[in-house]
């Protein structure tokens, strides 16, 4: 599952990948392929494309260069039937007008920063406040709302889409010109692999993630409360009423947050627990049990009716487990499906929320001369 990264101009790629040349609309390798078509225009008129990645087994990932959004992702059930397992829209208009970050790349800072400010090198930086008193997911126009440069790439074991974006110094209040590359690879092992890389010319903070909403029964096909979830974490970060970590790492033992063994998502979600009340359900960062710096298992979800299994592997120290608490039935997604509360879950691999204001948390500071790298893999199977 692990591969060595190397850099080519304007993108990142896995060892053994080759960038496509010319203006070809599609490419194939070992029965996997990628195609491109128009997906409308951004609010500023910039054309947007939709890329369809297909692996050798027929699994598909549709990704747009607007926000790096995973528009759809199919996975087989125990009978080999493919179904779309991520929430989203069929057209770009939904993502532009009313999207709770469906499938998007999140930056510069995934999750929350308390009261929209942090201090770095003696200077206080003020950010957009867009989530109660806090800054969330990069501000008013985060990475989920920009058009990325896109390049199709080939892999020995699948097919990929490389995205590049230059976030300029001061954008959304963050310091430094930040060069960001993200590579999506759909492998022939039924994995969606996401490799992130970034550099800066000034000290800054950075926390990149993907915000896909999963339902292994199929998008829009009821709630996820019957999914069995395992999270490889002995501790989590409790929050205050505005969803900012209190600072301590609390053991999950004897709490509704103990998912060390597979447990139905809905088994304890309605318990009279203060943390569940603050999050309106699960919306918390889990401190992953890790050894070393490589990929390790963060979580595993199983949907009993279809037999679909999702495993999340990451190099990050935490994962935000979110249960679609703020979906309220007002959104109609793909196929006219109505998305109600807890119709999906998210596994946002990340550093801890509000880390720029918590020196005791793993640092999110990126300095000139350093290279930010992280990888997350979502692996699908069935049983």
Would you please indicate which residues are annotated as catalytic (active-site) residues?
A: 211, 348
Pair 56, 70: CB distance under 8 Å: no
Evaluate whether 175 touches 125 at the Cβ level (below 8 Å).
yes
* 93 burial via Cβ count (<10 Å: 0-12, 13-18, 19+): exposed
Q: Which residues contact 170 (CB under 8 A, 6 or more apart)?
A: none
Instruction: Map tokens 């499938």 to a residue.
Output: 103
3-state secondary structure of 28: strand
Name the DSSP class of 213.
P
| Residue 105 tokens, joined | 């790349």
Conformation bin of residue 96: beta by default, left when phi > 0, alpha when psi is -120 to 50: alpha
Number of alpha carbons in the 13 Å side-chain half-sphere of residue 204: 31
Asked if residues 196 and 349 have their Cβ atoms less than 8 Å apart, the reply is: no
CA angle, 369 then 372 then 373, to 5°: 135
What is the distance of C-alpha 203 from the center of its chain? Answer: 24
Distance (Å, rounded) from C-alpha 126 to C-alpha 130? 12
331 to 110, 215, 225, 335, 355: CA distances (angstroms): 23, 16, 19, 12, 32
| 223 Cβ contact partners less than 8 Å away, ≥ 6 residues apart | 266, 340, 341, 342, 343
Locus of tokens 């679609």: 324
């Amino acid at each position: 599952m692990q591969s060595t990264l190397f850099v080519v101009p304007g993108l990142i790629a896995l060892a053994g990948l080759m960038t496509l040349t010319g203006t070809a609309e599609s490419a194939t390798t070992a029965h996997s392929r990628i195609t491109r078509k128009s997906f409308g225009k951004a609010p500023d008129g910039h054309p947007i494309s939709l890329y369809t990645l297909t692996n050798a087994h027929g699994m598909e990932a549709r990704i747009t260069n607007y926000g790096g959004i995973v528009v759809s992702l199919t996975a087989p059930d125990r009978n080999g039937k493919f179904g779309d397992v991520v929430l989203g829209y069929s057209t770009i208009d939904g993502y532009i007008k009313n999207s709770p970050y469906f499938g998007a790349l999140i930056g510069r800072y995934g999750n929350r920063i308390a009261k929209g400010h942090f201090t770095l090198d003696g200077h206080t930086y003020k950010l957009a406040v867009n989530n109660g008193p806090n800054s969330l997911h990069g501000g008013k126009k985060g990475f989920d709302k920009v058009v990325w440069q896109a390049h199709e790439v080939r892999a020995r074991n699948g097919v990929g889409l490389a995205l590049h974006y230059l976030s300029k110094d001061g954008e959304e209040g963050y310091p430094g010109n930040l060069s960001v590359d993200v590579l999506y690879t759909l492998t022939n092992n039924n994995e969606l692999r996401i490799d992130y890389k970034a550099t800066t010319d000034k000290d800054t903070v950075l926390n990149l993630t993907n915000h896909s909403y999963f339902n292994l029964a199929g998008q829009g096909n009821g709630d996820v409360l019957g999914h069995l979830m395992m999270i490889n974490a002995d501790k989590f970060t409790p929050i205050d009423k505005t969803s900012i970590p209190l600072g301590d790492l609390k053991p999950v033992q004897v709490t509704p947050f103990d998912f060390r063994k597979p447990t139905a998502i809905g088994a304890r979600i309605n318990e009279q627990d203060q943390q569940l009340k603050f999050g309106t359900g699960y919306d918390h960062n889990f401190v992953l049990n890790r050894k070393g710096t490589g990929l390790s298992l963060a979580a595993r979800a199983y949907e009993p009716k279809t037999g679909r299994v999702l495993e999340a592997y990451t190099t990050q120290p935490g994962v935000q487990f979110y249960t679609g608490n703020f979906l309220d039935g007002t959104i109609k997604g793909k196929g006219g499906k109505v998305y109600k509360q807890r119709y999906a879950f998210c596994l946002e691999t990340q550093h801890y929320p509000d880390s720029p204001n918590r020196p005791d948390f793993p640092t999110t500071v990126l300095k000139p001369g350093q290279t930010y790298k992280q990888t997350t893999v979502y692996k699908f199977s069935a049983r």
